[in-house]
A and B are shown apart, each in its own frame.
Chain A
Amino acid sequence: MGIRFILMVNKQGQTRLAQYYEWLTLEERRALEGEIVRKCLARTEQQCSFVEHRNYKIVYRRYASLFFLVGVDNDENELAILEFIHLLVETMDRHFGNVCELDIMFHLEKAHFMLEEMVMNGCIVETSKSNILSPIQLMEKMS
């Protein structure tokens, strides 16, 4: 299945975006997010970017105040996911121009649109930034 969920959480632990690719009830999500955030945010720069949690492996990366956490299966290629996070950030950067937490917060829908172009059903669909952004640009032109 590959990617199980993608979370964006700020350093206070507030969720800024959550996209799940398997169904979890609200309670399960709350518990999961709480546990993961607690585990990952406590880690230092010198520690690796992978955390094992339940049956998941969390691959995470920090950009300024924002943590990107991706839950994957245990046999997923960790570095590929780690770099995929960077690709996502670069894509948002290209769109927003120097993306920051507030951009994602106040443009939740756009962040979702981008993610939709990149990941579907837990698999990577597209990795070319211009391909990812073209539908969004098209839509902006229309409105």
Chain B
Amino acid sequence: MALSGMRGLSVFISDIRNCPNKEQERLRVDKELGNIRTRFKNEKGLSPYEKKKYVWKMLYIYMLGYDVDFGHMEAVSLISAPKYPEKQVGYIVTSCLLNENHDFLRLAINTVRNDIIGRNETFQCLALTMVGNIGGREFAESLAPDVQKLIISSSCRPLVRKKAALCLLRLYRKNPDVVNVDGWADRMAQLLDERDLGVLTSSMSLLVALVSNNHEAYWSCLPKCDVPQEYTYYGIPSPWLQVKTMRALQYFPTVEDPNTRRSLFEVLQRILMGTDVVKNVNKNNASHAVLFEALALVMHLDAEKEMMSQCIALLGKFIAVREPNIRYLGLENMTRMLMVTDVHDIIKRHQAQIITSLKDPDISIRRRALDLLYGMCDVSNAKDIVEELLQYLSTADFAMREELSLKAAILAEKFAPDLSWYVDVILQLIDKAGDFVSDDIWFRVVQFVTNNEDLQPYAAAKAREYLDKPAIHETMVKVSAYLLGEYSHLLARRPGCSPKEIFSIIHEKLPTVSMSTVAILLSTYAKILMHTQPADPELQNQIWAIFNKYESCIEVEIQQRAVEYFALSRKGAALMDILAEMPKFPERQSSLIKKAEDVEVDTAEQSAIKLRAQQQQTSTALVVADQSSANGTSPVNQLGLVKVPSMSSSVIYSSKWDFDQSRSSTSTSSPSPSPDLLGDLLGPLAIEGPPVAGESEQNVVSGLEGVAAVDAAAIVPVTVQTNAVEPIGNIAERFHALCLKDSGVLYEDPYVQIGIKAEWRGHHGRLVLFLGNKNTSPLFSVQALILPPSHLKMELSLVPETIPPRAQVQCPLEVMNLRPSRDVAVLDFSYKFNTNMVNVKLRLPAVLNKFLQPITVSAEEFFPQWRSLSGPPLKLQEVVRGVRPMPLLEMANLFNSCHLIVCPGLDPNPNNLVASTTFYSESTRAMLCLTRIETDPADRTQLRMTVASGDPTLTFELKEFIKEQLVSIPIAPRPPAPVPPTPSVAQPVPPAAPSNDPGAMLAGLL
């Protein structure tokens, strides 16, 4: 072993090596760092040799994992050293220690450029390598032309040009504009005529990057993709270049020309069938590297079925060999094969072998096997595969269990031959690997059971069976309790299934479960009570005692449930309606599948195979609940689900108002991307308005109303029988009408009428409330309180306490809009008539569109603006489904009435609408907003909407606002809203507002 040229470095390295423990090592390193720091401080006495030595030490220390936070300048300064050895160290260490955004790197940019354009080719190589490794955008902009010149220069030797090619690749990735496609494509083709191995290898990498962005321009390079035979590695001609070349071909679209195709396939066929297994490991690896790349190319080229079968036969052989690498790659490539072509049938022949691989001693191979089984599963083999997975689950390593159970759950859902099997699988899954079964999985099974009546007795019976087991996972307690709460009455005649028995077996679990489960158990008890008619006094007392006990629970959620259930269960038969069975869930994409898709993150450059796979995969991933039955309810239901008055109110919900949120579950889906299954499940179970005929109608009505209806049932069911003052006319309808016009009646009942008149100018508004007493006796204790959302400043002038008989008082209300928001202000109005206290909460029509002023723009003004607002968050696009179908003209009228002025003729497509407006608020001032709607004449229920403005919040709010207008049906005849005039009966839990924005919160509740 020759010693290094730098003695001090060698000594240091062997010192480190001799350190008996990590602590000693740290001490030695600290000592050295102190030493280097001192030496660098008085730099004058430092020779280039010493500098070089210290910089290497720094790199060594850094490699050991210690922070080196000084000396970067010294490393960078070596770059400008005149002699090669120092310069080299400078370049290499700089590219190891610094990242592309480091300031020192910018300082060196001129030196680097001088080295690149200079005549010393060793300097050129060093500079190109460093830029190629860590060059950033600034390097791209200032160096790209020079680097391009080097690549094509005839006076440059290959050793420089190969580095220049990869350097350009880096610069191109930093800024694609630095490569001018027009001129460069021909140059690229010339470059591939080169015979030097290094230049070809690097150029091929460059080509891959260029083609993956723009294959059209580089067609001329296609025929040049071949490999010189001069260089061989264990007898294989340049295996790495071969691989890279075939990779490049995968980025071009499939070759159509029959002659080219034929010759290409001949070559591929030769590789596939002519690769023999030999004794030499290296030769084998090299030849199989080429083979697997050929296989990938065959897949890309969409070969005939026959060739595909050959490939699969080959892979089938591979997955059974002893050599683990080949087994691994065989499985991996079979999975890829599944992604691009329809070869399920042929792959299925190897199912037994693949299942064997699931038990391989190597986790890498087991993972591949799992992926493959997951991919190849379909209706015909789902039972076998899922059962294998379940069996494997008990012995699988922890690292794989979560993935395994998720995949088993998805397959069971996707391909269940019958639903009872699906229920079996999920329950087994929970039983065997409860810790690894996420909530989504059991939520999903509940959705299925709820939506399929035939399944309910079976599922309940199964749940009951599991409860007999001595120790069950908490998730099993949750799902069984839920199912039995809903459906145990269907089992009533079976042995061990009387309400009492069900109750006691569930109640046994209570002491061992967490709070979230207790909440479910309480609901279950309430349901059991409800199903026990006539009531069994003993059971009733037992359950009441439990409710009583939890009334003082520290957990608000539990406390509230206990209080409410207790109160409700004393209502006797009325309980039947309130706690009736859950309505069916609206169909939706399985969140499990979504989750699985999210897991597959890939930061790499998209591979050709994946790109194609994405194009080909028609949405097979989209699995919906039971289509037939869910359709039976109301397909529009979902509309009501996806709206929340504002972001802020949803935040409020999630804290103190969790419980309400879960009851009006429907209100949370929109802002949070994760589907709110919990809301769905726990929600209506807790208390749901009886699924009466009116319900679907209520949900059809705009989102706000949908929420209102559900909430009404949830919060104030007690008031139904009281002699409430009935409002005249529909409050919601009146509100919606007032959103589009400026005067009218806001509210009316037998005693009082509230009218409104409004004027809007910029971000100011002046409303006048007309409070009229319709009677011959005065109204007392009149109170009008404004609960403004945080974005509105509102001032109501004094309201008299008494309104004389048949009189009308006018109360001006000043409004100022601070910023864009869709929150709604609420008027809390109360008065006393005789002994009745009447209280109503009314939304005020000071809504977003009131601060819009129509403006018409010409094409010259529109398009530059439209273009300059590029992409999120200033420009947002969304595909809106479930739109209320209407002719385009009607839609244009709707827009105009919201002050979004439709500009005809701007969009050449007659199916599209373009509208513009100005929004006024204190923070945004006057701001131009542009909107484009693209409708689909074939399907009027969906459209694509793009909204742009100079303010991200405004864009978002306006987009949501328009969406509300399009999907809602504001005016629909319906029974009087159950909420408003509620004599102020004590509500179960006073809304101790955790937020300082009561207006928004109330608006959310209304």
The reply to whether the CB of A55 lies closer than 8 angstroms to some CB of chain B is yes
Which residues of B are at the interface with A, using a C-beta cutoff of 8 A? Answer: 1-5, 10, 13-14, 17, 56, 59-60, 62-65, 67, 84-85, 88-89, 92, 96, 99-100, 122, 125, 129, 132-134, 159, 162-163, 166-167, 169-170, 197-198, 201-202, 205, 231, 233, 238-241, 243-244, 247, 282, 285-286, 288-289, 292-293, 324-325, 327-329, 361-362, 364-365, 367, 601-605, 607, 609-610
Partner of A47, one of B167, B324, B609: B324
Q: Which residues of B contact A103 (CB under 8 A)?
A: 1
Complex contact B610–A123 (CB within 8 A): no
Please list 24 pairs of residues, one from A and one from B, whose beta carbons are closer than 8 Å in the complex, sorted by A's number. A44-B361, A46-B324, A48-B328, A50-B328, A51-B364, A77-B247, A79-B288, A83-B285, A100-B1, A106-B1, A112-B92, A113-B92, A120-B166, A121-B167, A121-B170, A123-B205, A124-B201, A127-B197, A128-B231, A131-B159, A131-B198, A138-B122, A139-B84, A142-B84
Please list the 10 inter-chain residue pairs (A to B) with the smallest Cβ-Cβ separation, ordered nearest first: A79-B289, A48-B324, A73-B604, A75-B607, A23-B99, A80-B289, A47-B362, A123-B205, A126-B198, A48-B328
Residue ID in chain A nearest B165 by CB atoms:
A125
In the bound assembly, the distance between CA atoms of A17 and B327 in angstroms comes to 30
Min CB–CB distance B589 → chain A (angstroms): 25
For A1, A17, A47, A48, which residue has the most chain B Cβ atoms within 10 angstroms? A48
115-140 of chain A: CB within 8 A of chain B: 116, 120-121, 123-128, 131, 134-135, 138-139
Q: Which residues of B contact A93 (CB under 8 A)?
A: none
Residue ID in chain A nearest B603 by CB atoms:
A55
Which residues of A are at the interface with B, using a C-beta cutoff of 8 A? Answer: 1-2, 15, 17-21, 23, 26, 29-30, 33, 43-44, 46-52, 55, 73-75, 77-80, 82-84, 86-87, 96, 100, 102-103, 105-109, 112-113, 116, 120-121, 123-128, 131, 134-135, 138-139, 142-143
In the bound assembly, the distance between CA atoms of A52 and B600 in angstroms comes to 13
Complex contact A121–B166 (CB within 8 A): yes
Complex contact A78–B162 (CB within 8 A): no
In the bound assembly, the distance between CA atoms of A100 and B2 in angstroms comes to 12
Complex contact B231–A127 (CB within 8 A): yes
Q: Which residues of B contact A78 (CB under 8 A)?
A: 289, 292, 325, 328-329
Complex contact B240–A120 (CB within 8 A): no
A109-B56 contact, Cβ under 8 Å, with A33-B65, A121-B133, A142-B84: yes
Min CB–CB distance B159 → chain A (angstroms): 7
For A44, A125, A128, which residue has the most chain B Cβ atoms within 10 angstroms? A125
Partner of A127, one of B2, B201, B361: B201
Min CB–CB distance A22 → chain B (angstroms): 9
In the bound assembly, the distance between CA atoms of A58 and B187 in angstroms comes to 36
Complex contact A108–B239 (CB within 8 A): no
In the bound assembly, the distance between CA atoms of A44 and B84 in angstroms comes to 44
A2-B205, A120-B129 given; name 11 further pairs at CB < 8 Å. Answer: A18-B63, A46-B362, A47-B361, A78-B325, A79-B286, A83-B289, A106-B1, A121-B132, A125-B162, A125-B201, A127-B238
Complex contact A109–B62 (CB within 8 A): no
Residue ID in chain A nearest B238 by CB atoms:
A127
Partner of A128, one of B92, B166, B197, B367: B197
In the bound assembly, the distance between CA atoms of A86 and B282 in angstroms comes to 8
In the bound assembly, the distance between CA atoms of A74 and B133 in angstroms comes to 21
Complex contact A124–B325 (CB within 8 A): no
In the bound assembly, the distance between CA atoms of A29 and B63 in angstroms comes to 9
In the bound assembly, the distance between CA atoms of A136 and B3 in angstroms comes to 16
In the bound assembly, the distance between CA atoms of A121 and B367 in angstroms comes to 30
Complex contact A83–B239 (CB within 8 A): yes
